Every structure is written in C-alpha cells, then in structure tokens.
Amino acid sequence: MPTPSSSPMRPMSSSTIQTDPGAARPVSVVVVSRGRPLWLRRCLLSLSQQDDRNFELVVVADAPGLVVARTLPFARHVKFLANDGVNLSAARNAGIAAAAGAVVAFIDDDAAAEPTWLSRLVAPIRAGRAEAATGFTRGRNGISLQWGAARVDMSGADRPLPLGEGEGVFAPTADGAVKLHGTNMAISRKSLRALGGFDPAYRFYLEDADLSLRLAMAGARVAVVPGAQVQHGFAPSARRQADRAPRDLREIGASEAVFLRRHGARETRGIVQDAREAAQRRRLLAWLQRGGLDPMDLRRLMAGYRAGWQEGLSRRLAPLAPLEDDPPAFQPMPGIWGPAVHLSGRLWHRRRLLKEARARAARGERVSLLLISRSTLWHRERFDDSGVWIQSGGLWGRSDRTDPLVALQRFGTRARRERARIADVRGLG
C-alpha cells in the first residue's frame, strides 16, 4: 500500500471504472439489523436485484428480523447470523467473520440499493486500483443527495471532498482520510481483517470514520464512486424518531469521546469537546424551534449526551488484533432478475399501473414506475415492499431540488426527462 502523504487530498484519477461482474472476485454484502424487520426485508429485496453476479448476502439480525428475512424467496441462499446485541461494530465484525468474499461491502438495513450499486462500488477494488470504496447516498425523498464525497479529520469532523468527473481514487494523507459512509462502503477483506475490523468501543456512531482513518494510516487507497448509489431512509430507532428528531444522545457522546481518545491530540481535547457539545445543542435548539422537541426534551438529551461523553472517557480501549480468516464457504446469490423496465403514467391510472408494475416485478423484472399528477408537487422516490421503484410528483414540480419551483412542460417531455435522470443507476440503458 502507498504511504500517507502530507500533500492535499486530490484524486489519483477520475476516469470511469469499467465493471465486469461475470469475471470478478467474489463479494460479501453484510447487513446488520435490530428492531426493524420490515426495513430489513426491503433492503434485502433491493440487494436481490443487483446486476452483480458474484456476491453473497450475510445478514446479522435479531430474532424478529431473522423471522421476516427468512420469508423471502431467496432466503435459502443467505447466510443468517443471530445477534440481539446493541453494539453495531461487534455485529459487523460477526458478519465479517462469516464473509467469504474477497471484498466485503456494507449497507444499513434502512437503505435500498440501486441495481447497479454493488458492481460499481467494488469495481475499483476488483481492478486493484483501491483497497476501499464508498458511494453516494440519497436521502429520504429518494432524490436529494444526503452524503457525497467527504473527508474526515482527526477530530471526527467531515468536510466536502472535491471530486472531478466520474470516480476518483485517493491516496492517503497524513491529516485525514476519505470518509467511508457506513451505509455505502466496501473494503478488501484482506485489509479489513488485518486492521481488526470495526472497533467495538464504538457501539454506534463514528465507527465508519474511525475505520476510514485507520485505513489511511495503513496506506490504503480509497475510491469515491458517485454512480454507486443507495437511498437511505433514516428509519426510526431507539435513538431517533420517525421524523429524525433525536431520542437519546448517550451513545453519540460516548463515541465522540472514544474517537478523540483514539485519534485526537490530548492538548486539544477540551476545545473539541466544547465544540462538539455546542454543535449538539444547536441541533436540538433547531428541533425545538420546529416543534419537534420541547424544553424538557432538550435538557434530558443534553444530560444524556454529557453522561455518554463521560462514559466514553472511561470506556476500555483494547488493541485491535487481526481478525481470524476461516469463514464458511462462499454462498452466492442466484441471478434471478431479468431486464430493467420503466413504466410511466398519470396519477389517476395509479391502481392499474401499480398492478402491472408489481406483476412484472414478481416475474423477475427490475421495474421503475413514474406517476405524475397535474400539480406542482415536488417529486419523491422510494423502493416499495413489492420490489418496485416508485417515483411520484407533479407535472410541473421539482424532482432535482435545484430545479425551478415551477417548470411548464408536457407529460411526454417530463416522463422522458425523469427516465433519463435515473437511467444510469437503474440500468435502463
């Protein structure tokens, strides 16, 4: 691996990486889930539609998640591991131990992967151009960018990372790393096991930033692949409500303290701690102003954050030993999906179009459905439980949030434009 450089981070190249899934090294996709069985089912359904033909699925989940996941028609091809713990890093390490692929990819249970996601994400690793890769993540509306190219520094702060046209492969630098987004990343199994996997001191939050920095310190090259896309739903959990308002900040505080102990300079810890606490307070005040929290919530959440920080300062930080390398045999997913198709129509034909879309998905086609109303409603997109990508919105409404508020156009023009917008990531050709 290259050694870290002190020069500014810039891509080693930005050319398009060609994929060849048929002749590719095998990949293991690890999904960890707890308390969200229906979200897990949807995530796995999206993974079953991948255009890659040489990957396995490793699911680490609690009992309700395993029960639901085992009802999927391809369940007999999946490696299932029972895990009811609350430590995300430990659960991911259990998944790594069962992963037999030469590359290990990760996605969250509340995300849905585009059909081209995996083949594009792992292409630079398969080609020997990088040891790790991360893609772009869209937010809850299914269209807007949630996370793009970013770098993380020794304090855990993220900053945008300039990226040229196409993919970029970055050499490591001494003052930070390309940020691997936990819901959209892949690492060579050799590198991942050598580093000891994920640090279990991070039960939740910053585990991906910590791994990013350790990869950089080991000299790993990291690829940023904009075309490798997932939609991240931000499902409710014990830590956040359905509207994303926080419920508990204890583990965030603990992970921030652990991160500074692992990576921060001792003399600046107090300054960083004050800045982190102030940032959390500003975030809560914004929720208070929107009506999502009340003053009692703010006091309770900040008290939990401070308690978590103190707990993180005393949490045991054990050395990370290389992981054992004795996984069960590779268990490939079957290539059960056929061509990608795009359907479109007016909203009042919704029932008929949904019936057709779901019937075609049941036959093995990768179906995208566009429903347009005579309105200025902004567009949203989601992957539904039947395996169909559904986009809906107004004929004159925004899809890309940089569009004009109102764009006068005919139905045919709008339908062609929306198909072109998704054609690349959806594999529509």
Is the same domain home to 125 and 213?
A: yes
Neighbours of 139 (CB within 10 A): 15
> Is residue 134 predicted with pLDDT exceeding 60?
yes
Share of the chain above pLDDT 70, in %: 95
pLDDT digits (tens, 9 = 90+) for 292-330: 999 999 999 999 999 999 999 999 999 999 999 999 999
Residues 348 and 254 in one domain: no
- d(Cα 40, Cα 235) in Å, to the nearest integer? 10
Are both 289 and 374 inside the same structural domain? no
Same domain, 215 and 268: no
Domain-embedded: residue 1: no
Q: Is residue 330 part of a domain?
A: no
Q: What per-residue confidence (pLDDT) applies to 14?
A: 37
Q: If pLDDT is split at 50, 70 and 90, which confidence band does 241 have?
A: confident
Q: What is the pLDDT of residue 252?
A: 95
Which of 298, 314, 330 finishes a domain?
Answer: 314
Task: Assess if residue 238 is contained within a domain.
Answer: no
pLDDT of residue 11: 59
The string of DSSP codes covering 61-118 is E-HHHHHHHTTSTTGGGSEEEE---S-HHHHHHHHHHH--SSEEEE--TTEEE-TTHH
Dihedral sign computed on CA atoms, order 225, 231, 236, 240 = positive
Q: Are residues 170 and 280 in the same domain?
A: no
Q: How confident is the model at residue 236 (pLDDT cuts 50, 70, 90)?
A: confident
Give the domain CATH number at 228: 3.90.550.10
Q: Are residues 282 and 346 in the same domain?
A: no
Mean pLDDT of 279-301: 93
Asked whether residue 297 is assigned to any structural domain, the reply reads: yes
Could you tell me the CA-to-CA distances from 243 to 232, 287, 317 in Å, in that order? 14, 10, 34
The pLDDT of residue 9: 55
What is d(CA 168, CA 130) in angstroms, rounded to the nearest whole number? 10
Q: What is the pLDDT of residues 30-46, one digit of tens each?
A: 999 999 999 999 999 99
* pLDDT of 185 higher than 60: yes
Query: How far is the C-alpha of 428 from the C-alpha of 251, rounded, in Å?
Result: 42
283 shares its domain with 148: no
pTM > 0.75 = yes
Judgement on whether residues 262 and 196 belong to the same structural domain of the protein:
no
pLDDT of residue 180: 97
Q: Per the domain annotation, does 371 fall within a domain? A: yes
Residues 168 and 222 in one domain: yes
Q: Is 267 inside any structural domain?
A: yes
Domain housing 389: 340-426
pLDDT (0 to 100) of residue 244: 81
CA 330 to chain centroid: 23
Residue 393 lies in a domain: yes
Domain count, the chain: 3
Identify the bridge partners of residue 56 per DSSP, sorted by sequence position.
28
> Are 217 and 256 in the same domain?
no
